[in-house]
Amino acid sequence: MDAPRPLAVEEAAAHVGKSAKTTYRWKTQGLIAPYGERWELMFLDIELDAAKTACAERKARNPRGRRPCASAGS
């Protein structure tokens, strides 16, 4: 079985924001590779931080909610 191919910058950017959990998984599995384009990983870090912050805010507003947010890598 072939190793998963790294995503192009445009392809990765199209998926950012759709699912922080998926983005986090891709990042940790190395599917989004740094081709010397450091902004790509920085952009993903910003997106993950924003998703974690939004998740924490929803949990604070709704502590007993069944699923206030998806796990954002936390």
Tell me the whole-structure pTM to 2 decimals: 0.31
Is residue 51 left, alpha or beta, with left meaning phi > 0 and alpha meaning psi from -120 to 50?
alpha
Identify the pLDDT of residue 14.
Answer: 59
* 24 C-beta neighbours (distance < 10 Å), count: 19
pLDDT in tens, 8-59: 555 655 555 555 555 555 555 555 554 444 445 556 666 677 777 777 777 7
Domain boundaries, the chain: 9-61
Q: Work out the pLDDT band at 62, boundaries 50, 70, 90.
A: confident
How far lies 18's CA from each of 24, 43, 44, in Å?
11, 14, 12
Q: Is 73 within 8 Å of 48 (Cβ atoms)?
A: yes
